[in-house]
Amino acid sequence: MHEFSLVRSLLRQVGDLLVEHGGVGVKAIRVEMGPLSGVERQLVELAFDQEVVMTPCRGARLVIEEVSLTAICQDCRAEFQMQGFDFVCHSCESRQIQITGGDEFRLLDVDIAVSEASRSELHQRV
Amino acid sequence: MTTTNKTVPVHRDVKAELRQQAEEMRQTFAKRGTLVVNVLSSPGAGKTSLLEATARHWGDRRRMAVLVGDLATDRDAQRLAPHCPVEQLTTGGACHLEIPLVKQGLAKLGSNDFDFLFIENVGNLVCPASHDLAEHVRVVLLSVTEGDDKPGKYPKMFRTSQALVVSKTDLLPHVPFSLDAAIRDARQIQPDLTVMPVCSLSGEGLEQWCRYLDDQRKDMIAKSVTDEVRVAV
Ligand SMILES: Nc1nc2c(ncn2[C@@H]2O[C@H](COP(=O)(O)OP(=O)(O)OP(=O)(O)O)[C@@H](O)[C@H]2O)c(=O)[nH]1
Ligand SMILES: [Mg+2]
Ligand SMILES: [Zn+2]
């Protein structure tokens, strides 16, 4: 189970963004996962609930978007959604296909709270 | 204090930074002529035995080193120590290796003048599949006692591997395991998989395995040279 280590890394990255953007808190963290991401949704949620309280992201909501497995055929260039784990092209039955989605655990975006004061300060500096 | 919301777009894999590090290390190793091999399997499929047999087979004809991941003990490192330079990577309970631990192991290894660097991962067919350790070749072992239906059950592991070693072939007469069925199942997921049946105890299949490694290393060196020429032009 490597979800805890991945979630800790995720929270570290969001923490860095928070500092970089001069935010005062994190509202929401949006991530994407699919059938070949190598993570279990429930374990990610469990890890997030346990870990987030110990970080500057405390109070943030985790929004998980589940995507399906998609691929492109190297032979006929057809793009398609895979059914299960049969790595075969839907059009020409070639096995030379490349996965284009659903095999990563991605950080999509982060909603951070920025205080009005620090915003205007930021503007003045600019 | 009034606050406003701001959305910061990121859109990248959580492991993007580690992957980048792995990519850079892979290129450095290639230039140096060191083929890095990530060895994966479920617990006890015979990873350490295969590496012991490989070292015995080569003797001093190849320079090999091993980084071996283990949750807590240094048993595998002790087994390998008589054969080749080896460093233990203790994960402290984690079920897989990550690049920072590999870097620590490399530092402890001292020398980096090897033809082959093997990284024996923690026994696990799930989590290690997600972690790039700067390897040029990912090899998954499947022992015949595990059953020939396993590739389809662990798609990510088999999809991301370039070679499959079917291990403990001496036990084939005692277990219901069809080599053909296992290969068919694995190639359904990864059509380009090179399959090598090996018995580390008797040494059967070791010749083919070692030749495969030599070929991979030659290809890597050739590719690394053309890459450099391309950059120079
Ligand atoms: N019969 C038979 N037994 C083998 C063979 N290779 C390994 N074994 C035995 O299988 C057991 C496990 O082998 P290891 O080499 O320790 O396996 P491993 O994958 O390194 O194990 P972990 O690192 O703990 O995951 C040992 O008892 C070996 O002697 C083989 O080719 N034939
Ligand atoms: Mg071992
Ligand atoms: Zn096609």
Same domain as A54, residue A8: yes
DSSP B42-79: STTSSHHHHHHHHHHHHTTSS-EEEEEEESS--HHHHH
For chain A, the residue count is 126
Mean per-residue pLDDT over chain A, rounded: 93
pLDDT for the residue numbered B225:
82
| Domains held by chain B: number | 1
User: Which pTM was predicted?
Assistant: 0.93
Q: Is the CB of A12 inside 8 Å of chain B's CB atoms? A: no
Same domain as A28, residue A46: yes
For residue A125, pLDDT over 90 is answered with: no
Q: Give the tens place of pLDDT for each residue, A85-94.
A: 989 999 999 9
Who among A5, A95, A117 is closest to B191 (CB)?
Answer: A95
Same domain as A108, residue A88: no
pLDDT for the residue numbered B213:
98
- Position B62 in a domain: yes
For residue A126, pLDDT over 70 is answered with: no
Ligand 3 center–CA A90 separation, angstroms: 7
pLDDT for the residue numbered B32:
95
Query: Which residue range(s) make up the domain with A57?
Result: 3-67+102-125
Same domain as A112, residue A94: no
Q: What is the full per-residue pLDDT of chain B (233 aa) written as tens digits?
A: 788 999 999 999 999 999 999 999 999 999 999 999 999 999 999 999 999 999 999 999 999 999 999 988 999 999 999 999 999 999 888 899 999 999 999 999 988 899 999 999 999 999 999 999 999 999 999 999 999 999 999 999 999 999 999 999 999 999 999 999 999 999 999 999 999 999 999 999 999 999 999 999 999 999 988 877 776 66
CA dist A85 and B155 (Å) reads 7
Contacts 24+ apart (CB under 8 A), B111-115: B111/B65, B111/B85, B112/B32, B112/B34, B113/B32, B113/B63, B114/B34, B114/B63, B114/B64, B114/B65, B114/B85, B115/B33, B115/B34, B115/B35, B115/B62, B115/B63, B115/B64, B115/B217
Q: Is B46 in the pocket of ligand 1 (CB under 6 A)?
A: yes
pLDDT for the residue numbered B138:
98
Contact A38 B156 (CB under 8 A): yes
pLDDT for the residue numbered B166:
98
pLDDT for the residue numbered B46:
98
Same domain as A119, residue A59: yes
Q: Which CATH number characterizes residue A30's domain? A: 3.30.2320.50
Same domain as A107, residue A56: yes
Same domain as A112, residue A77: no
Same domain as A86, residue A44: no
pLDDT for the residue numbered B175:
97
DSSP A15-76: HHHHHHTT-SEEEEEEEEE-TTSS--HHHHHHHHHHHHTTSTTTTPEEEEEE---EEEETTT
Q: Is B197 in the pocket of ligand 1 (CB under 6 A)?
A: no
| Domains held by chain A: number | 2
Q: Which CATH number characterizes residue B207's domain? A: 3.40.50.300
Q: What average pLDDT does this structure show over A113-118?
A: 81
| Position with higher pLDDT, A122 vs A90 | A90
